[in-house]
């Protein structure tokens, strides 16, 4: 199925359950999250309600949810590595049927736009080493690796970090 239109916007309250289910399912089905983390991934309502965090979704022309990401800023409970005036992308997920059609790129580009419009200096993110397709996307969009900021969410379970500096 070819997707002809992708719109990025904040999730509506009625879409939060489906958004959380999509995010948790992608991470669960691809073994990208520990089972204990899945409830946090599924809780899009908490992200929607948190100060300094926005639950974004990608939808097609019919309103079907194609993907999701959290845009957050330093100081928010959802920011892992953002500091100072940086913004951060978290929990990026694309539905399996929509992969390879620009959904992830559209979500990241919207986060870049939001960061730029807010006058923030940079957009940062963390990714697992095995998320190579995502890393290629980030590199294509100008993100640079920041190995000095890499971190472990659990002993022996590290994340790679990337940063896009904005003018």
User: Residue 50 CA to chain centroid, in angstroms?
Assistant: 15
Query: Above 80 in pLDDT, residue 1?
Result: no
Res 2: pLDDT: 84
List 152's β-bridge partners, or say none: 158
Res 4: pLDDT: 83
| 114: its two tokens | 């939001």
| 101: its two tokens | 């059609």
Rounded to an integer, what distance in angstroms lies between the CA atom of residue 133 and that of residue 127?
Answer: 11
Rounded to an integer, what distance in angstroms lies between the CA atom of residue 39 and that of residue 28?
Answer: 11
Give Cα separations from 73 to 63, 79, 82, 112 (angstroms): 27, 6, 6, 12
pTM: 0.96
Q: What is the pLDDT of residues 116-165, one digit of tens each?
A: 999 999 999 999 999 999 999 999 999 999 999 999 988 999 999 999 99
- Are 19 and 86 a contacting pair, CB within 8 Å? no
* 31 three-class SS: coil
Determine phi and psi for 92, rounding to 5 degrees: -70, 130
Rounded to an integer, what distance in angstroms lies between the CA atom of residue 19 and that of residue 47?
Answer: 11
Query: Above 80 in pLDDT, residue 167?
Result: no
* 12 three-class SS: coil
Rounded to an integer, what distance in angstroms lies between the CA atom of residue 115 and that of residue 53?
Answer: 12
Query: Above 90 in pLDDT, residue 97?
Result: yes
Query: Above 80 in pLDDT, residue 3?
Result: yes
Give Cα separations from 23 to 55, 69, 124 (angstroms): 11, 8, 19
The pLDDT-based confidence of 76 (bands split at 50, 70, 90) is very high
Res 154: pLDDT: 87
Domains of the chain are: 7-165 (3.40.630.30)
């Amino acid at each position: 199925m070819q997707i002809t239109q992708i719109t990025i916007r904040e999730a509506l309250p009625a879409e939060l359950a489906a958004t959380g289910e999509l995010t948790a399912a992608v991470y669960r089905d691809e073994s990208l999250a520990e089972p204990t983390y899945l409830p946090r991934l599924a809780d899009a309502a908490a992200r929607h309600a948190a100060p300094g965090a926005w639950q974004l979704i990608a939808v097609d022309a019919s309103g079907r949810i194609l993907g999701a990401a959290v845009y957050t800023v330093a100081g928010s409970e959802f920011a892992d590595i953002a500091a100072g005036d940086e913004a951060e992308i978290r929990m990026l997920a694309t539905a399996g049927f929509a992969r390879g059609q620009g959904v992830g790129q559209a979500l990241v580009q919207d986060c870049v736009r939001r960061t730029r419009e807010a006058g923030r200096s940079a957009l940062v993110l963390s990714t697992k080493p095995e998320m190579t397709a995502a890393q290629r996307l980030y590199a294509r969009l100008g993100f640079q690796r920041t190995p000095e900021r890499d971190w472990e969410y659990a002993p022996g379970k590290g994340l790679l970090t990337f940063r896009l500096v904005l003018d």
